[in-house]
Chain A
Amino acid sequence: MRDLIRKLTETYGPSGFEDRIRAVIREEVEPLADEVRVTPLGSLVAVKKGTGGGRRIMLAAHMDEIGVMASHVDDKGFLRFTAIGGVNPLTCVGARVQFEDGTLGVIGVEGKREDRTKAPRLDQLYIDVGATGKDDCPVRVGDAAVFVRPFAVRGTRLIAKAMDDRIGCAVLIETLRRLEGTSNEVYFVFSVQEETTLSGARTAAYGIEPDLAIAVDVTGTGDTPEARPMAVELGKGPAVKVQDRGMIAHPLVRDLLVRAAEAAGVACQMEVLERGTTDAAAMQLVRAGVPSGCLSIPCRYVHTPSEMVDEGDVEGAVKVLVEAVR
Chain B
Amino acid sequence: MILKELSEAFGPSGNERPVRQILRQALEGHVDRMWVDALGNLHTEKQGTGEDRLRVLVTAHMDEIGLMVVGHDDDGTLKVRAIGGIDPRVLPGAQVLVGPDRLPGVIGLKPVHLLKEGEADKVATIDQLRVDIGAKGKEEAKNLAPVGAVVVFATRFRELGPTVMGKSFDDRVGCAVLVELLRGERFPHDLHAVFTVQEEVGLRGARVAAYAACPDCGFALEGTIADDLPKEKDVSPTTELGKGPAITVMDRTFIAHRGLNRLLVETAEELGIPCQFKQPGIGGTDSGAVHLAREGVPCATVAVPCRYIHSPASLLSLADFENTVRLMREALNRLRREHVGSSF
Contact = CB atoms under 8 A, between A and B. Distances in A.
Contact of A141 (B216, B249, B257): B249
A142 B249 contact: yes
Nearest to B237: A72
B279 interface: yes
B282 to A, nearest CB: 8
A19 B295 contact: no
A291 interface: no
Interface string B278-308: 0111100000100110111110000000000
A42 B257 CA distance: 9
Interface stretch (A33-41, A180-188, A212-220): A33-41
B298 A41 contact: yes
Contact of A40 (B236, B288, B295): B295
Interface in A75-99: 75-76, 80, 82-84
Interface in B252-299: 253-258, 261, 276-277, 279-282, 288, 291-292, 294-298
B344 A19 contact: yes
Contacts of A71: 236, 279-281
A82 B294 contact: no
B119 interface: no
Contacts of B340: 40
A140 B340 CA distance: 23
B306 to A, nearest CB: 19
Interface size class of A (residues with CB under 8 A): 35 or more
Interface of B: 216, 234-236, 247, 249-250, 253-258, 261, 276-277, 279-282, 288, 291-292, 294-298, 340-344
A40 B249 contact: no
A41 B291 contact: yes
Contacts, number: 98
Contacts of B249: 16, 69, 141-142
Contact of B236 (A16, A72, A206): A72
A63 to B, nearest CB: 12
B297 A40 contact: yes
Interface of A: 15-17, 19, 22, 38-43, 69-72, 74-76, 80, 82-84, 123, 140-142, 193, 196-197, 199-200, 202-204, 206-207
Given A80-B236, A204-B295, A206-B294, A193 B281 contact: no
A199 B254 contact: yes
A325 to B, nearest CB: 22
B277 A16 contact: no
16 contacts: A16-B256, A19-B343, A22-B342, A40-B340, A69-B250, A74-B234, A82-B280, A82-B282, A141-B236, A141-B276, A193-B255, A199-B255, A199-B292, A199-B296, A202-B296, A207-B295
A203 B342 contact: no
B155 to A, nearest CB: 31
B124 to A, nearest CB: 28
